[in-house]
Chain A
Amino acid sequence: MTRPRVAVVGGGPAGLSAACAVVAAGAATTVIDEQPRLGGRLRYRRAPVAVGGRDLIDPGELVQTMIGAASDAGVSLLPDVTAWALFAGNRLALSGSGAPAELEVDRVILATGSTDRPYPFPGGSLPGVFSARAVHLLLNHYHVRPGRRFVILGDGPDAREAAGDVNAAGGEVAAVVGIAAPGGALAAEGETHVERVVIDGETVEADTVVVAVSRQPDADLARLVGAGISWRDMSNGHIVVHDAGGATTVPGVFVTGDAAGVTDIATALARGQATGLAVAASLSLIDASDPRLAASLGAGSIWSEAGGIAVDVPSAGLSHGHTDGQDPWDAAPMSGATEFVCRCEEVSAAVIRDAIDAGAQSINDVKRRTRAGMGACQGCFCTGPIATLLSRHAQVPRSAIDPMTARPPVRLLPLERLAGRGSPRDGL
Chain B
Amino acid sequence: MSERFRPGGFAANDEIASEPEVPFHVDGRTVMAREGEPLAIALLASGVRIFRTMPHTGEPRGGYCLVGRCTDCLMIVDGQPNVRTCLTPVAPGMVVQTQHGLGERDEHDPFCLGATT
Q: Residues of A with Cβ closer than 8 Å to B?
A: 34-36, 43, 46, 58-61, 63-64, 80, 115-116, 125-131, 133-134, 137-138, 140-148, 168-170, 192-193, 207, 218, 343-346, 375-377, 380-381, 411-412, 414-416, 419, 421, 423-428
Contacts and interface: CB of A to CB of B under 8 A. Distances in A.
11 contacts: A58-B12, A61-B11, A134-B65, A137-B41, A144-B2, A218-B69, A343-B64, A346-B54, A424-B80, A426-B87, A427-B84
Interface in B48-64: 49-51, 54-57, 59-64
B64 A425 contact: no
Chain B contact residues: over half helix, strand or loop, or mixed? Answer: loop
A424 B81 CA distance: 12
A143 B66 contact: no
B113 A36 contact: no
Given A125-B59, A134-B66, A143 B111 contact: no
Contacts of B37: 142
Given A127-B63, A343-B70, A416 B111 contact: yes
Given A130-B64, A427-B88, A346 B57 contact: yes
Contacts of B82: 412, 428
Contacts of B1: 147-148, 207
Nearest first, the 10 closest Cβ-Cβ pairs linking A and B are A60-B12, A127-B62, A427-B88, A134-B66, A427-B87, A376-B71, A144-B45, A127-B49, A346-B56, A193-B49
Contacts of B5: 143-145, 169-170
A411 to B, nearest CB: 7
Contact of B87 (A36, A125, A126, A141): A36
Contact of B66 (A128, A130, A192): A130
B58 to A, nearest CB: 10
B65 A425 contact: no
B10 A116 contact: no
A148 B113 CA distance: 43
A380 B70 CA distance: 8
B53 to A, nearest CB: 10
Contacts of B112: 414, 416, 423-424
A128 B4 contact: no
B72 interface: yes
Interface in B17-40: 17, 36-39
B12 A36 contact: no
A376 B70 CA distance: 7
